[in-house]
């Protein structure tokens, strides 16, 4: 009986290790924390901080993000009838392993203090043939200058994908939560469900 329990534990560890090996995390600098405002002005102009980009590559999904991607901030000037606005934006490329018809990519944003700010989500409803790549650009309005000023890091991951045959795959939250907890120890699975 004791050897059966030992064998069970070994099998569970092997399965868990195999799952973790199928997921990869990449990181890279995400550019200066400064945001150009035009006319030679910058938000955070006296800071040398560099933002952080983290990308989760989930080998169990029939799609992958190419490289390491993340969120940048920009300022768009208004015109005579509107004021300017701050924008979160991201350019990303995906590779399909199967014929796909839709995908959702999420970017979890964190401030300079390690607190989760929000999850930015983009759904793309488009046919992507197996073995091909597709580039996208996402943009989201930012609610305040303070939010842009304090934005520090983002974690990108494919949240879900639908194949041409109708099967829907969803990301396993374990690795996402583990990466997010490196910034905010209070981060939990319920934080993954909050989108803006």
Task: Dump pLDDT digits (tens) for 145-154.
Answer: 999 999 999 9
Distance of CA 158 to the CA centre of its chain: 7
pLDDT digits (tens, 9 = 90+) for 158-188: 999 999 999 999 999 999 999 999 999 999 9
Alpha carbon distances (Å) from 75 to 53, 85, 142, 154, 169: 20, 6, 10, 18, 36
Task: Determine whether 51 is exposed, middle or buried from the number of CB atoms within 10 Å of its CB (0-12, 13-18, 19+).
Answer: buried
92 and 138 Cβ atoms separated by less than 8 Å: yes
Residue of 131, 148, 153 lying closest to 69 (CA atoms):
153
Q: What is the pLDDT of residue 7?
A: 44
pLDDT value for 6:
53
What are the residue ranges in the chain where pLDDT is below 70? 1-22, 194-196
What pTM, to 2 d.p., does this model score?
A: 0.85
């Amino acid at each position: 009986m004791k050897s059966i329990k030992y064998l069970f534990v070994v099998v569970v560890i092997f399965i868990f290790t195999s799952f973790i090996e199928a997921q990869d995390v990449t990181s890279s600098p995400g550019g200066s924390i400064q945001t150009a405002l035009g006319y030679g002005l910058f938000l955070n102009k006296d800071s040398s901080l560099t933002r952080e980009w983290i990308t989760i590559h989930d080998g169990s999904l029939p799609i992958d993000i190419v490289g390491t991607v993340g969120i940048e901030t920009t300022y768009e000037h208004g015109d005579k009838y509107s004021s300017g606005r701050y924008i979160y934006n991201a350019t990303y490329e995906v590779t399909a392993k199967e014929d796909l018809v839709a995908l959702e990519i999420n970017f979890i944003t964190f401030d300079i203090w390690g607190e989760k700010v929000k999850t930015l989500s983009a759904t793309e409803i488009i046919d992507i043939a197996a073995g091909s790549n597709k580039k996208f650009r996402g943009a989201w309005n930012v609610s305040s200058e303070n939010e842009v000023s304090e934005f520090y890091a983002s974690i990108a991951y494919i949240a879900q994908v639908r194949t041409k045959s109708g099967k829907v795959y969803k990301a396993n939250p374990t690795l996402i939560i583990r990466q997010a907890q490196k910034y905010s120890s209070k981060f939990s699975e319920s934080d993954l469900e909050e989108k803006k």
